[in-house]
Amino acid sequence: MATTICSIMWVLFITDSVWTRSVRQAYEVNDPEDFDEHDFDCPRECFCPPSFPTALYCENRGLKEIPAIPSRIWYLYLENNLIETIPEKPFENATQLRWINLNKNKITNYGIEKGALSQLKKLLFLFLEDNELEEVPSPLPRSLEQLQLARNKVSRIPQGTFSNLENLTLLDLQHNKLLDNAFQRDTFKGLKNLMQLNMAKNALRNMPPRLPANTMQLFLDNNSIEEIPENYFNVIPKVAFLRLNHNKLSDAGLPSRGFDVSSILDLQLSHNRLTKVPRISTRLQHLHLDHNRIKSVNVSVICPTHGTLPTEQDSFPYGPHLSYLRLDGNEIKPPIPMDLMTCF
């Protein structure tokens, strides 16, 4: 148990370290005395708080165009407007930008001028959620650490889109229109430091190929995935949080060793078509199996202290140190024994 807890703490520490590093870089604010007086010119469409001279607030103003961004700006808020294009000119002096929020606009791929984003050499966070994008925009700056593209119409990922994004740690593509044919074997090549990949709420029937080796959080909920290839997790040996809720996984669609992957600490398989508990690792901490078609559970398999020790053929070999288990919404009869409820 102590070893497993240490593993969880290590995962959380690494994740927090990356986030803290990014936030620290993004929030290093220069002293106002470092700016010339003309640097405080504020676009009339926006608000420039005197106490936060590196931020420019232009959200919720019905804007159809991006105003000229002063050179001092690090944080740009343009969400919830009517912007359709991202031209180069407004950013020609904005060489210090770290953060751009363009959520909830009407931006299309045709509206993004080539080079408009890649010229921002210090950009760390780019938010383009709830727009009209049909493919992942490219080229993007090499410095980028987070790319948020949820709730667009993305169905294509052009070849080489991610080839120079070695600093990207988070890629959010949830709630788009991705099909299996959107991915090639080299689609994710270049994402050497990616830790979180979210492709929930798309139209995938297969697991995406050749994911980045450093992926630790993989979210694939609400797709139509039917099977997981044998040895699929060998290429992502650090995956710790795996979500496959609301798919079409059946017993026959799982590899022979199921999810017996030592790195996985949190496994979510709710709302699938499983009739039995899949084989898992002894290091697993959280297991979500609710709303499947599971008919029975051997208590001695899950809680060895309540019966005989399980064999290697059992779903839970040697009794993993589970601290959370969901089995509601299945077809288990008779009711789950109380011993099972108290063994964690």
Whether 71 shows a pLDDT value over 80: the answer reads yes
The whole-angstrom separation of Cα 65 and Cα 46 is 12
pTM of the model: 0.85
The whole-angstrom separation of Cα 157 and Cα 15 is 26
Contact of 149 with 133, CB cutoff 8 Å: yes
- Looking at residue 338, its pLDDT comes to 55
Whether 37 shows a pLDDT value over 60: the answer reads no
94 versus 16: the higher-pLDDT residue is: 94
Burial class (CB in 10 A: 0-12, 13-18, 19+), 87: middle
- Looking at residue 322, its pLDDT comes to 85
- Amino acid present at 252: A
Q: Is 16 helix (H, G, I), strand (E, B) or coil?
A: helix
312 versus 74: the higher-pLDDT residue is: 74
Whether 250 shows a pLDDT value over 90: the answer reads yes
In the chain, the percentage of residues whose pLDDT exceeds 70 is: 78
Query: Average pLDDT for residues 39-50, to the nearest whole number?
Result: 86
* 108-146 confidence digits (pLDDT tens): 999 999 999 999 999 999 999 999 999 999 999 999 999
Query: Average pLDDT for residues 53-68, to the nearest whole number?
Result: 97
Whether 229 shows a pLDDT value over 70: the answer reads yes
Q: Is 341 helix (H, G, I), strand (E, B) or coil?
A: helix
Angle at 99 between CA 94 and CA 104, to 5 degrees: 110
